[in-house]
Chains A and B, each alone.
Chain A
Amino acid sequence: QSALTQPPSASGSPGQSVTISCTGTSSDVGGYNYVSWYQQHPGKAPKLMIYEVSKRPSGVPDRFSGSKSGNTASLTVSGLQAEDEADYYCSSYAGSTISVFGGGTKLTVL
């Protein structure tokens, strides 16, 4: 049950794109297409942004997209806006009905 690996921080200017990676193993990220991403603003509950690697729940802007290659998943935020500044967490199914989260990435909009 090791945490997935995310960079602690990422940044970009308004309008730019930024990509956050999430690296696991063949037992979690690489083994299943159940990777999801969550946005968390300070003091708030997490919000689902991407599920099943690349699907967006209704209401989530299409500026948010997800992908996966091997054991690494990625979240891309295009056309950065000030309100995108938040912590982002990836999560993956890890088999045996267990889930695992990444350590989180603080996204700063410069």
Chain B
Amino acid sequence: EVQLVESGGGLVQPGGSLRLSCAASGFTFSSYWMHWVRQAPGKGLVWVSRINSDGSSTSYADSVKGRFTISRDNAKNTLYLQMNSLRAEDTAVYYCARDEAWRFDYWGQGTLVTVSS
């Protein structure tokens, strides 16, 4: 059974940093591209970032480019999102999702990041 479990969310002050993790199991993690998608409270889904299967290529939404870094450790079956210079508008539930030909076929349960003083 495919499972994605996010962790690392919490309350952080504006300008602060946080690293999210997504532990994957039930599939060959190193064979799949992965994504981060976020959802602000009461709002819609927004694509944040993606990484290819070996970690050599990444893409970012304009809103996070230069502040967020996606990475992965295939030996640990774990996806990461390093978030720096956090802003109030980054407050959201962050989901990791598996990519299968540009569809997000499995999602984690999400982890809440709150940026507030």
Contact B102 A45 (CB under 8 A): no
- Given the known interface contacts A38-B45, A89-B45, the answer about A97 and B62 at a Cβ–Cβ threshold of 8 Å is no
Query: Interface size on A (CB < 8 Å)?
Result: 27
In chain A between 79 and 102, which residues have their CB closer than 8 angstroms to a CB of chain B? 87, 89, 91, 93, 96-102
Query: A45-B95, A45-B109, A45-B110 known; A100 and B103 CB under 8 Å?
Result: no
Say yes or no: is B107 at the interface (Cβ < 8 Å to chain A).
Answer: yes
Give the number of chain B interface residues (Cβ < 8 Å).
23
Task: Closest B residue to A40 by CB, please name it.
Answer: B45
A48, A57, A104: most-surrounded residue (chain B CB, <10 A): A48
Interface string of B39-82 (1 = CB under 8 A from A): 00000111100101000010101100000000000000000000
Closest 10 CB pairs of A and B: A51-B103, A104-B44, A34-B102, A45-B107, A93-B102, A36-B103, A99-B47, A97-B59, A101-B45, A103-B44
Interface residues of A (CB under 8 A from B): 1, 3, 32, 34, 36, 38, 40, 45-48, 51-52, 57, 87, 89, 91, 93, 96-104
